[in-house]
Structure 1
């Protein structure tokens, strides 16, 4: 008898999927039996990565999306639904992360603050809003927002990013209250500092702070997050909503 995969025949959108965590999520979700549409503002890269996954026999498509642009979001979701026929899940991984820190609150650039909030918070809301009409048609729609454990311990000199991820956690709880009547569950994963392209600029002392402060004292890699994401997208988590799950090796306990 053939083994049924955890996300067999599910239809899922993953944003921020050209590289880093989003790219890893897309591969893991597709490998679990889902059909995936990968989205990113880096159009050439997301198309290239989708082509690589297709060559491995995975069911993936890709398109460009700019989370700061409502029309771009709506076009991307329309494309995805046209490819997938229906929609069961959304992973909101896209965010501004690289080079958004380094200055304290007295010297932080207000324009940078606005850009980070516009993408990380407003963009996540707008992407979710665009997907809800289709998720409502699913037996049990799933949304997974990717936040950060920096919002749980208050990382210094990273204020806009930390504030945006804290807002995302709070927004998820509010959305859970509103979407529950449609049997749509929405949860947040808060990773610790993970070895991806976006964290290459992080000073070595911050990496060491994380490793030394974890209950499991090692570097975090993207694959450490996949199990939680697959669980939250699967039927196994049908009664879990509005929750924030830190996945950080025990650097922060929830």
Structure 2
């Protein structure tokens, strides 16, 4: 969908996006705000967040930045409370923030501290942020949670085990929460991007990039804007009877 066709799709919505300072998170904020929503941007990268917020505000978009460390339960609660207060309520949560850390290492090379760090941020942090936002999402009457997973657990990407396991857990959480929260009229869905050209994937060896290029039905690099449509859709009224689903957005590398 073009920007013009989505300009009012999220009009009046109040959305919190984590990991919003750069990369996919920033692209999501841009698309969500351009679709008419007021967006709270949360990240641990404070300098980058401030710069991104300022750039979006210059374009007339309704955004504000909030500090967040997903590994710190107190920070999660404080961020959710401050963001919800600024927004005046909450209609949607995009759990995008995550770390990789385990790239390029085999299972035997992973350290326990690294494994725990990835799980604390990607799994526990996603759970804690969702819980912190639930009262406001229930009050909305049209709450939507979008969890960012990855296509890596869908095909079993090697030498990335902690990250792959964490993103597989996010898929499981998505399905379980969809059943728990359906009675509250809250939808919960996951978006599973393929290898996308952003800052967080700069570490990925060229051989892995080529593996994706060779395996995609659509033979080109995946860009952040390729993922935005699925996120905007899942937050919108178009998806009110769509829940517990995993949308693999990867150009047909994995056909899920």
Category of TM-score, reference length = shorter chain? over 0.9
Query: Cα deviations across residues 65-109 of structure 1 (Å, max 9, x unaligned)?
Result: 000111101111111111111100000000002x42111112211
TM-score, with length taken from structure 2: 0.96
Is it true that 1:43 corresponds to 2:46 in the alignment?
Answer: yes
Of 118-127 and 105-114, the range deviating more from structure 2: 105-114
- 1:118-137 equivalences in 2 (<5 Å): 118-137=120-139
Shift of residue 4 of structure 1?
Answer: 6.2
Is it true that 1:240 corresponds to 2:242 in the alignment?
Answer: yes
SS at match of 1:201: coil
- The counterpart of 1:115, out of the listed 114, 117, 132, is 117
- The counterpart of 1:228, out of the listed 224, 227, 230, is 230
Count of aligned pairs between the two proteins: 251
- The counterpart of 1:179, out of the listed 168, 178, 181, is 181
Shift of residue 45 of structure 1?
Answer: 1.3
Q: Tell me which residue corresponds to 1:85.
A: 88
Shift >4 Å, 4+ stretches: none
SS at match of 2:213: helix
SS at match of 2:90: coil
Is it true that 1:216 corresponds to 2:221 in the alignment?
Answer: no
Query: Cα deviations across residues 164-199 of structure 1 (Å, max 9, x unaligned)?
Result: 000000111011111111000000000000000000
> Cα–Cα, structure 1 residues 147 and 52, in superposed 2: closer, same or farther, change >3 Å?
same
The answer (yes or no) to whether the contact 1:47–1:63 under 8 Å persists in 2 is no
The answer (yes or no) to whether the contact 1:216–1:250 under 8 Å persists in 2 is yes
2:87 and 2:162 map into 1 onto residues whose CA distance is 35
- The counterpart of 1:34, out of the listed 26, 37, 56, is 37
Shift of residue 51 of structure 1?
Answer: 1.0
**Runs of 5+ unmatched residues, structure 2:** 1-5
1:223 and 1:209 map into 2 onto residues whose CA distance is 21
Is it true that 1:201 corresponds to 2:203 in the alignment?
Answer: yes
